[in-house]
């Protein structure tokens, strides 16, 4: 039996085991995927190579996982954070499936030219760099200045809350954790209302609840979507790497059922 895991701190809330085990069961693959609580990121490489054929890595270890990999593939090199490890003959091959997973999740909005990303954390990096590869114009707005440095250096348009300048956007993405455990907006409500009046679609990376951000977007008549598909598709792409297969729609549905606990 092959063993897989998700490393994180905390990791208790993760839905990845449900999702991957559901697909393993559906395809009758002899494998098991579990939660691996890891406090000390320095132990990641050792623990992974000792026990697992593949793994996902979540908050707060994605940057450290990038550093400890033997080989990093694709867009992860620019993002400098990885969420997927493959054990290839005792060497770690690492990928970032958050970025392409996000692109798949927003396919339903069609062609986009201008996107506003609220927030400047790890998720915003993956999203911004994925969209940049599609030649989409990206603007980032964040509560504070510190995390904007990375985006400025990459040539993105950046603002903090105070110097933000309104524009028309096809899509507005909430990549902050505002609304996750509380009922706050990721920006001042008045500013958000003006943004939505000039935009078509709204996407929230948070999943499992309708955040105040999405409620307000709906009220303003925007087409909206939460982060469930982003989670699903990053998992699906990781699953394809784990099993070296191309998953069809029936596997997607097995993973979705697992994710929803159905």
Strand stretches in the chain, DSSP E? 2-8, 31-37, 54-57, 71-72, 84-88, 91-95, 114-118, 137-142, 157-160, 169-174, 199-204, 223-225
Stretch that binds ligand NDP, among 36-44, 108-116, 224-232, 253-261 (CB under 6 A): 224-232
Q: Please, which residue, 178 or 222, has the CB nearer to ligand NDP?
A: 178
Stretch that binds ligand NDP, among 7-15, 36-44, 143-151, 253-261 (CB under 6 A): 143-151
Select from 76, 231, 251, 254 the one that contacts ligand NDP (CB under 6 A).
231
Residue 109: DSSP 8-state: G
Do the Cβ atoms of 102 and 130 come closer than 8 Å? Answer: yes
Instruction: Point out the catalytic residue in the list 62, 125, 223, 246.
Output: 62
Q: Please, which residue, 93 or 173, has the CB nearer to ligand NDP?
A: 173
* Nearest CA-CA partner of 184 in 194, 195, 176: 176
Residues annotated within a binding site for shikimate: 14-16, 58, 83, 98, 207, 234
Does the footprint of ligand NDP cover residue 143 (CB under 6 A)?
Answer: yes
**In the annotation, is 62 catalytic?**
yes
Rounded to whole angstroms, how far apart are CA atoms 223 and 41? 39
The two tokens of residue 183 are 């009922």
Residues annotated within a binding site: 14-16, 58, 83, 98, 205, 207, 227, 234
* Nearest CA-CA partner of 3 in 26, 28, 27, 35: 35
CB of 88 to ligand NDP, least distance (A): 25
How many residues in total does the chain contain?
262
Does the footprint of ligand NDP cover residue 178 (CB under 6 A)?
Answer: yes
Does the footprint of ligand NDP cover residue 121 (CB under 6 A)?
Answer: yes
Select from 16, 56, 97, 123 the one that contacts ligand NDP (CB under 6 A).
123
Q: The sheet that has 31-37: what strands, in order across it? A: 31-37, 2-8, 54-57, 84-88, 91-95, 71-72
Stretch that binds ligand NDP, among 12-20, 68-76, 114-122, 245-253 (CB under 6 A): 114-122
Do the Cβ atoms of 117 and 173 come closer than 8 Å? Answer: yes
Q: Please, which residue, 14 or 68, has the CB nearer to ligand NDP?
A: 14
Q: Please, which residue, 139 or 175, has the CB nearer to ligand NDP?
A: 175
Does the footprint of ligand NDP cover residue 14 (CB under 6 A)?
Answer: no
Stretch 187-216 residues interacting with ligand NDP (CB under 6 A): 205-207
Does the footprint of ligand NDP cover residue 224 (CB under 6 A)?
Answer: no
CA distances from 262 to 52, 95, 206, 230 (A): 27, 29, 20, 19
The two tokens of residue 219 are 């009220």
Residues interacting with ligand NDP, by CB under 6 A?
Answer: 59, 98, 119-124, 142-144, 147, 175-178, 180, 184, 186, 205-207, 227, 230-231, 234
Q: Would you please indicate which residues are annotated as catalytic (active-site) residues? A: 62
């Amino acid at each position: 039996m092959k063993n897989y895991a998700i490393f994180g701190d905390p990791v208790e809330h993760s839905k990845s085991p449900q999702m991957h085990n559901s697909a393993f069961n559906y395809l009758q693959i002899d494998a098991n995927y579990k939660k691996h609580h890891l406090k000390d990121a320095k132990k990641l490489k050792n623990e992974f190579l000792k026990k697992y054929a593949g793994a996902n890595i979540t908050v707060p270890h994605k940057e450290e996982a990038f550093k400890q990999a033997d080989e990093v593939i694709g867009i992860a090199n620019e993002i400098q954070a990885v969420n997927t490890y493959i054990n290839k003959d005792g060497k770690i091959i690492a990928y970032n499936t958050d970025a392409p997973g996000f692109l798949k999740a927003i396919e339903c909005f069609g062609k986009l030219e201008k996107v506003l990303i609220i927030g400047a954390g790890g998720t915003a990096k993956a999203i911004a760099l994925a969209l940049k590869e599609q030649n989409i114009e990206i603007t980032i707005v964040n509560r504070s200045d510190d995390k904007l440095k990375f985006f400025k250096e990459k040539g993105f348009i950046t603002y903090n809350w105070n110097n933000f300048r309104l524009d028309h956007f096809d899509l507005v993405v909430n990549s902050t954790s505002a609304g996750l455990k509380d009922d706050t907006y990721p920006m001042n409500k008045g500013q958000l209302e003006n943004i939505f009046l000039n935009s078509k679609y709204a996407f929230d990376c948070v999943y499992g609840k309708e955040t105040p951000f999405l409620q307000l977007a709906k009220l303003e008549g925007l087409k909206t979507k939460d982060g469930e598909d982003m989670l699903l598709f990053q998992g699906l792409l990781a699953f394809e790497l784990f099993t070296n297969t191309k998953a069809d729609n029936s596997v997607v549905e097995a993973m979705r059922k697992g994710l929803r606990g159905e």
